[in-house]
Chain A
């Protein structure tokens, strides 16, 4: 009588499942890094106007001296290239004071300056508009923390153009 050989089934155990999960996580991380968090995925650009308000006079002077047309901007959070400056200028900050008749008038702040500029920022385009670095929706008054090789500052967006293709 022929002996029937018992069939050995391959069964998954917890260890196997863990390994599969690790492999899947590695592949997912690789895909995210390559396609989602990579600057190459930033296919759009938008021209923004920005202000940096109430800085010391020496800071505004340093910004005017070190930032020119074409100066590259890096995102403070991850040091990736986020765009470049095309124009920059500085003016004294203002505050309100009372004149002799008790009216509120705008006068210069004794020490502070505002820096105004224009920059091209890289990002993506979505249903709700332009996303700086693909993550932050560009809105009037939104703040983007950036740095150059000399200055770190928080740019408050004051206008945003319609996004166009980066290349």
Chain B
């Protein structure tokens, strides 16, 4: 602001300042309002999603328990509760093969003694976005999508292998 004959007058810079402040305030209000509207309008669905955790040593299998709360280890937000736990042994593909009845040749495999693949089905609450994609605690729930899984003291990067959205909560 300039002072001319003792009077304060606006110049171009002052107008730019005011405009910028107004635009910032308008943007903040707009996004705050639209965000709160979208949150309040989001329907919540119950979702069951299964994640694959591998490899897990036999000593750690007891860490996966039905009823445990599962968190996103990156954000600390709740993904849901463990509904089911299933295990398989990790396989090791060998250099030999067998010929099946239909004539196809399939590599033989063995199983590691104490390494497991753990499939955990988690029951949680999801929202559905504009692309019809389910989200739980900010994570896309899609077959093949990675998740940062934490249950008790166990944390790992896991991948979703299946999911079902069951209906409005």
Q: Which A residues form the contact surface with B (CB < 8 A)? A: 8, 10, 12, 16, 19-20, 22-23, 26, 55-56, 58-59, 62-63, 72, 74, 79, 95-98, 105, 107-111, 147-153
Contact = CB atoms under 8 A, between A and B. Distances in A.
Interface in B63-101: 91, 93-97
B93 A95 contact: yes
B156 to A, nearest CB: 17
A26 B166 CA distance: 44
> Taking chain B's interface residues, is the majority helix, strand, or loop, or is none over half, making it mixed?
strand
Contacts of A149: 131-133, 142
A23 B3 CA distance: 25
Contact of B142 (A96, A97, A152): A152
Contacts of A56: 52, 161
Given A59-B144, A95-B93, A107 B2 contact: no
A111 B144 contact: no
Interface of B: 2-4, 11, 13, 16-17, 19-20, 23, 52, 91, 93-97, 104-109, 131-133, 140, 142-145, 161-162
Contacts, number: 86
A97 B20 contact: no
A137 B2 CA distance: 53
Contacts of A148: 142
Contact of B20 (A26, A55, A59, A147): A26
B136 to A, nearest CB: 14
22 contacts: A8-B3, A19-B13, A19-B16, A22-B20, A23-B20, A55-B144, A56-B52, A58-B143, A59-B144, A97-B94, A97-B97, A105-B97, A109-B93, A109-B107, A110-B107, A147-B145, A149-B131, A150-B143, A151-B142, A151-B143, A152-B142, A152-B145
B28 to A, nearest CB: 14
Given A55-B144, A110-B93, A62 B17 contact: no
Given A105-B105, A110-B106, A147-B145, 20 more contacts: A10-B2, A19-B13, A19-B16, A23-B16, A56-B52, A59-B161, A97-B95, A97-B96, A97-B97, A107-B97, A109-B106, A109-B107, A111-B91, A147-B133, A149-B132, A149-B142, A151-B143, A152-B142, A152-B143, A153-B144
